[in-house]
Structures are given as structure tokens and as C-alpha cells.
Amino acid sequence: LSLLQRCTQLLESVALATWGDSAMYPGCDHRKFMVALLAFVLVNSVLLWASESASSCFAGRAARELHDRAMTSLLQAPVDRFFDKQPVGRIMNRLTNDMRTVDRQLLFSGMSLFAVLGQLCIPVAYVHSSMPFYFTLWVLPTYYIIATLWFRYWNTTVPIAYSTLVCLSSVTATIADTYEHSIIVRAYNDEHRAVSALSRTVADYLKLTVSRNILEGWFMARLEVLWNFCTTFVVLFAIVNPGSIGVGTLGLCLTNMMMVQNNFISLASGASSLMSEFISFVRLAEYLDIPQERPAYIDGDSRYRNILVSIPRGSMGQLVVSRESGALRVCRLPEGGHPVALLHASDDGEGLVPTKRPAQVLRDLCPGCEELQAITAWHCVARVNGAQGSAEALAKELCAGAGDQVTLDVRSNWFVGGAQVRIQDLVVGYGDMPKDVLRGVNLSFEARQKVGIVGTTGCGKSTLLLALLRILEPRSGRILFNGIDTLNVGVRTLRSALGMVAQDPILFAGSVRYNLDPYGSFNDEEIMQVLQRVQLQSMVDAWPDKLAHNLAEGGENISYGQRKLACLARCMLRRPALLLLDEATSSIDPRTQEIINEVLCKDFASATIVSVAHRIETVEEYDLVVVLQEGRVVEQGHPSELASRKGGLFAGMLAARRRQML
């Protein structure tokens, strides 16, 4: 469309020039030329509108597709093989500056450059078609010199443009690192070094930017001189051969030559900008080919998946609670028929499970609900709206609740009765590093056990937790949860069934509700209950917006201990069967530690807890202690047993800790 528009634009000029030549002779039909000129103008306007509209539509769709695919690829990238190797500033620069360039400038610059090429080639073709053949032979050497200069300019400016973007990433990374560690910089009076580092990166960026501008000016100056020679040849030809070309045609040729000179300047500038913007596209496209984690979901793991679904109460029909021989049942009352039993209390009395046609009963609650179609016989209803913990409470809310919507928390029976963990000959390492961090680890944790992992720094404690989450994939060996190999389950299915409180509490910029319940699965009452359990309710009640109060990035506007408690409250809402704690009691005061220990004992009594212990005394009340050394299990057993073992590592660490406290 753009090329057709440029051709139509040239035809306008040709029609005007022909009209001028014909007007010198009597009998010129001015009406015919006027109609032709108006027709070309109209067609040119339509083509211009169509090309601009098409390019705008295509640009938006292409940028959105690139953004979505890059973000999906990043979110599925492995920590050890990608994020541990990439500076934060580089990722930020590509997702901000490069994405903005692709979104707003790349396609429009490409279309503009294509338009300039049309304005360059079509007028030159018209000039050469209007002049004798030997005129083309005169200007060929000039074209050759221009082409040589162009390739030299292009081959030099491409590496400079790429290096400019790399330096810009370094500037962003330096600023991000300095901001993140500003407390440490100030504590050690290291501001001068931080400013010097930033100055060096900014200076490198400015040097490359200035070099690129100088190179562009160098090329344009020579280009103008060379093209002026071509324009001079046109004038000399008209002087030497008077009458060989019409006045209108000569004027149009000179106009086109002058226009081409301006277009050459626009072409050089536009090509330089387009090349820089295309590099941004290439840098973003590199994220489409980065290493990826194993699939989030795999065929056959739907039976292990927990599902949260909200359905209209009216779509379930009339449900009633009944008791037959003391057994609790949820039945549907069809019109003019007998009650049909759908659900009954689970063995532990905490949920509702199917009673008839196990693979289809839960689907029959609402046949039109797509989410319920994935439910198998291995699922039970664990929560209905805010009711949980009792099959009777679930049944009452399901049958006689007040709301128009019913939110069902349907959980897999994978971890019914707790999470049993078996680790067999596990070997784990980081990324491409040949050294193994965990070497032949064999462990067994029973359901509802409290397990403490201790050892010296670098022995592999946190690595073990990352392996349980499959953030690090086993190099050999396997991990089984309740007899199911974790490699046979999608990573998102696996992680959604587990809970973790990291050593550094993770909170996002957003409301308290968003940080505790990002998917909106729980009501205000449930969230306030868990906040009360971790003794944060008074803090939230003191804020005017309550749960809508915005937390700063990383939770910087609350204390470190409160951040830890908020992360623990987030896990309490989800009630995972396996809870992983990575030094959850480090860097906190004794009162906060006491709150955490109380919550772990009471609210996670039915969960299996695997805790990396920073304070050795915190594992003395656990059921099992595992001592790691250089990636191997050197001791394991009950804390009292290991503490009484003479010459044992755990006994030595416990004695050293007690001496520190004296």
C-alpha cells in the first residue's frame, strides 16, 4: 500500500508536468488534465489512509504478541540457569526501554523508512527514464562511491548502536543495585565508590552516543556533496542539449533530484534509528529462546491439582443436608423425585467427598461449569465460601448459605492425612556448574512430622528446599510425595500444593489483601482470622483502609518481623500439607519467634514441616533433625538422641550455641 501510494504521488507530479508542457501549445484540454490530477490526488489520499491504518493495527498486534511471549518465557525460565546469571538491570532495561521502543517506534520507523525508499527510488527511476542513456553512465561512478560510503557507515554504526544499548543496561543495573543496597552503601560510607561506578557507566554510554552522532554527521556531509554532483549533471545536460527535454519535465527532474537529496539524509537518519530499534527487538526476541522449566501442567496430573471455582447457587438446584444412620450427606431434591445423595463426610470429618459415581458427582453439582470437568474421584470439597475444617459446616453453607455465589475449594486427596516425603539418592547442582551441591541424599519424612535441617553455611540446606520445590531439578535420584514421583507432576501443580516462607520475606507493592490472597480466593473474615492468629490484626485495624492499605515494594513500610508474619499468614490461608521454612526465625526478635513457633505448633499441626534452622535451639522440639555437611547427610534422628551423641556434629553445634548465649 505504501509503495502504491508513493507511485500515485509521483503520478500527480507527472500529470502536473505534462499539463505544463501541453499548456504551451494551443488546443490544450485543461479539463482533462484537471480531472486526471484530481483523480490521482483522491487515490493518493485513500492509499495513504489505508497504509497508515494497516501499519497502526499491525504494530499494536505485533508488539502485544512479542510482549506476551517474552513475559511467558521469562516467567517459566529456571532460576539457576537464567535468573542467577542475568543482572537485574539488563532484564529491567529490556522489558522497559526495549519494549517501549518496539511498542511505539519500531514498526512506524520501518514504515517511514520504506516510504523514504519509495520517495528515493521512484523519483530516481523517473529522472533516468526521462534522460538519455549516457546520462546514467555519467552518474554511475557517483552511485558506486555513495554505496561504498553507505556500507562503511552501516558496518561501523551497527556495533556502536548495540554497544550503546548494552551500556544503557549497565547504567540501569548500576542504579538498581545501588538503590537495593543503599543501606549498606551508607553504613560503610561508600557513597563515593557508588557515584564513581555510576559515573563510569554513564561516561561509557555518552561516549558511544556521541560517536554515533559524529559518524552520522560524517556520512551525511559526504552524501550531500556527492548528490550535488548528480544534480549538476542534470543541469549541464539541459544546457548542452537545449530543446531535448520539455520545460515541465526538466523542472520535475530537478525537483525530484533536490527531493532525493533530502530523502538521502532522511534515509541515513531513519536507517540508523531503525537499526537501533531493531536491535531492541532482537534483544527482546532473545528472551523467546531462553531455557525453560519443565511444563507447568502435564497430561494426567489433573488428579493432583487443587481447583478453586465460583458457581451460581441457583445452578446447583435444591440441596439439603440429611443424616442416614448418623452419616452426614448432601442430597439434591429433584422435582417429584426422591433425594439423590451427592456428597458425604470424608473420613477425617473435614471435607465432603462423592458418594455415587465418584468420577462424575462433583461435576453434577453444576454440569455447565467447565472447571468442574477436570475433577476426578481423587478430589474432595475442602471449603465452601468461608466455611472449612468441618464437613457439617461445609454442608450447611453449601445447602443453606446466604450468598448468590458459591466458592468451592476442591482439593486433591494427594496429601490426605499429611505429606510423606521420600528422597532417594538425590544429586542436585546449580545450572551448568559441574560441582554437585547435594550428593546422594537419602531421607524419609513421615506425614505430619516436624523436620529440622541444620548444618554449616554452604552445606546444602536451602538447596534441599529448592529441590523439593523443583526450582532445582535433580541431576539424578528422585523425590516422592506420598509415593508420587515429583517429576511426574507439572511444576505449577506441585508448587501450588506446597507452602514456603523464605529467609527474606517476599511482599509486593500492593494492598494487604493482594499480598495475602493474590487470587481473591478468601473473604475478609478469613483473612482477618489468620492475621489475628499471627497477631497482625491490630496493625491492620489501625490503618484507615484496613485490608486495602497499600504496602511498599518488599514491605518496606512495615517491620522485618511483621513481613515474616505476613508471609506466614499467607501460607495459613492456603493450608498446605507440606510447609517449607528457610530460616524463618532468623533476624527477628524473641517475641516474633515465639509467635511463629506457636503458629507452627497449632495451625500447622496436620502439616509436614521441613525447616532450615538458623537458630539451632529452635529444632530441639522437632520430631527429626537432619545434619548436612558438604552436601551429604551425616546425622539424622530425634533431637534428644543426636544431642546426647558424643562427638556428634549436632551435639557440637548445640554446645557452641549455648556457649554463645552465656
Q: Which of 125-139, 307-321, 642-656 has the lowest mean pLDDT?
A: 125-139
Instruction: Report percent pLDDT > 90 for the chain.
Output: 8
**Mean pLDDT score of the chain:** 81
The position carrying cell 514441616 is 609
Distance in angstroms (rounded) separating the CA atoms of residues 400 and 385 = 12
Instruction: Report percent pLDDT > 70 for the chain.
Output: 86
Mean pLDDT, residues 565-579 taken together: 89
Report CA dihedral (57, 58, 59, 63) to the nearest 10 degrees. Answer: 110
Given a contact cutoff of 8 angstroms between Cβ atoms, the answer to whether 6 and 123 are in contact is: no
Boundaries of every domain in the chain: 77-286, 301-412, 421-507+558-661
Q: C-alpha grid cell for residue 176? A: 538498581
User: Can you tell me whether residue 41 is helix, strand or coil?
Assistant: helix
pLDDT single digits (tens) 515-563: 998 888 788 888 888 889 888 888 988 988 888 998 888 888 888 888 8
Report CA dihedral (360, 364, 365, 367) to the nearest 10 degrees. Answer: 120
In this prediction, residue 1 carries a pLDDT of 57
Query: What CATH number was assigned to the domain covering residues 77-286?
Result: 1.20.1560.10
Given a contact cutoff of 8 angstroms between Cβ atoms, the answer to whether 257 and 234 are in contact is: yes
Given a contact cutoff of 8 angstroms between Cβ atoms, the answer to whether 530 and 609 are in contact is: no
Cβ of 479: how many Cβ atoms within 10 Å? Answer: 23
In this prediction, residue 450 carries a pLDDT of 92
Mean pLDDT, residues 226-250 taken together: 73
Q: C-alpha grid cell for residue 381? A: 470439597
231 vs 288: which has the higher pLDDT: 288
In this prediction, residue 10 carries a pLDDT of 60
Which CATH number is correct for 301-412, 1.10.3470, 2.60.40, 2.30.42, 2.30.30? Answer: 2.30.42
pTM over 0.85: no
Query: What CATH number was assigned to the domain covering residues 421-507+558-661?
Result: 3.40.50.300
57 vs 292: which has the higher pLDDT: 292
Distance in angstroms (rounded) separating the CA atoms of residues 21 and 249 = 8
Domains 77-286 and 421-507+558-661 share a fold: no
Report whether pLDDT(273) > 80.
Answer: no
User: Can you tell me whether residue 647 is helix, strand or coil?
Assistant: coil
- 102-106: long-range contacts at Cβ-Cβ below 8 A with a sequence spacing of 24 or more? 102/63, 102/66, 102/277, 102/280, 102/281, 102/284, 103/63, 103/67, 105/273, 105/277, 106/59, 106/63, 106/274, 106/277, 106/278, 106/280, 106/281
pLDDT single digits (tens) 333-386: 777 667 777 788 887 778 888 776 544 567 777 777 777 776 766 788 888 887
pLDDT single digits (tens) 426-449: 999 988 788 889 999 999 999 889
Strand partners, 384: 387, 408
Report whether pLDDT(468) > 90.
Answer: yes
In this prediction, residue 137 carries a pLDDT of 79
Length of the chain: 662
Given a contact cutoff of 8 angstroms between Cβ atoms, the answer to whether 405 and 397 are in contact is: no
Report whether pLDDT(96) > 70.
Answer: yes
In this prediction, residue 478 carries a pLDDT of 92
pLDDT single digits (tens) 156-198: 887 888 788 788 878 888 887 888 778 888 888 888 888 888 8
Given a contact cutoff of 8 angstroms between Cβ atoms, the answer to whether 374 and 305 are in contact is: yes
The position carrying cell 525537483 is 255
Given a contact cutoff of 8 angstroms between Cβ atoms, the answer to whether 372 and 333 are in contact is: no
pLDDT single digits (tens) 7-35: 666 666 666 666 555 655 566 666 776 77
